[in-house]
A and B are shown apart, each in its own frame.
Chain A
């Protein structure tokens, strides 16, 4: 059994189309998205339409809950005034540009998904099983804490996104946690590609999950973001692979790897 797991799309419909094609080429029989369709990039309807057309199995992200229910803010959970300033700009844009017809779909997405693939119980969430906007960073998610989350969720493998940086770890009990990363923006590593997670339960090589770097037409995304008058700071991230906003929520280890 092969399956692809996409993290936050953040309106990068160009990257999403590329990912759908890439996953199918690799033989994915099931496609999952762990939520946050909107934010950051341009033309929110396009990503929603691609996901719906491809019948991607969805988990609701905080952004989907916010846009679907027209909430006051995106619920990203930032704590810094500058981060919040940029979060407000992108939320206002996405909220304004998402068609009314798509909102019930966003609002009705399930917050968690349990599936069994090849005898393994996977539990899919956006942030964490207990909180839709909880950040599971590698350096602040110690083993004992993750074991607790997995036990409570009844999961052999816990899959999440929300942070935008992918990582995975096998826990002492044999359980596994996979942060699938994001399709919407680069991983703050100075590369313009974006990432998703791929499972092959019959793979010869361990672990069964791997991360796929995905090149896409990021120049075109940048052009469209500029045409939509989205903040130049966001465009810079697309073009350089370095985050320029949402920096205050990064733990020091993850942040020191970045440029800003």
Chain B
């Protein structure tokens, strides 16, 4: 087979894999992400509504502007669908990924994705790369590692290395009643990031984090994560649902901008090393 034919076939195969076996292909919205108005938002990635919500094929670009950069392209595009109920907006992100990466460890990184919106809807949009000074962006970040712990994987070395042998954890000494407040308090002291209330450290109830940024390198945790989501790996790719509040000034029937990012864990993509989109117009449907 000539290489060009091979590429064509690969493209057809990937498109059908993304669509999911036996699922109805949704209509395409080339120019923008259309958030369709629905009275209630879908709560799963398998909701029937996704069969009729227009899909925008968002082209992913290398983050090659600031160090550390990504210099080798990986995930080429992400398919985006969106629904709004006038208060919140849901995004369904679907992309192809040959490897499921949800285990943390040295040199191990999880698959992940994120959606970014200007914190305030205005004609003058922030820079697409994480916003800029005085023009904040709001980000909702989903990680396969978070998803695995929400799905029930224990925060324990044996969940990652089943044959690990540990002699003793001081905070699990027999003299301490398991689960008692003093025991919990002590366990926290032995998990520095948890002690510092870092949302990276769990315990976790949702697989997403709400973040804010005013430019590259300025990302910070929102006061509270109010978004929710869920991700599912099947058919050689991820489908991730992100549900978050509409940002300030984004009205039903109005327009704003949205951007996305995807990290391929097996390629050690993390932080700034990512595939991302430019701003994409987002039209918000209304009840009328």
Partners in one complex: no
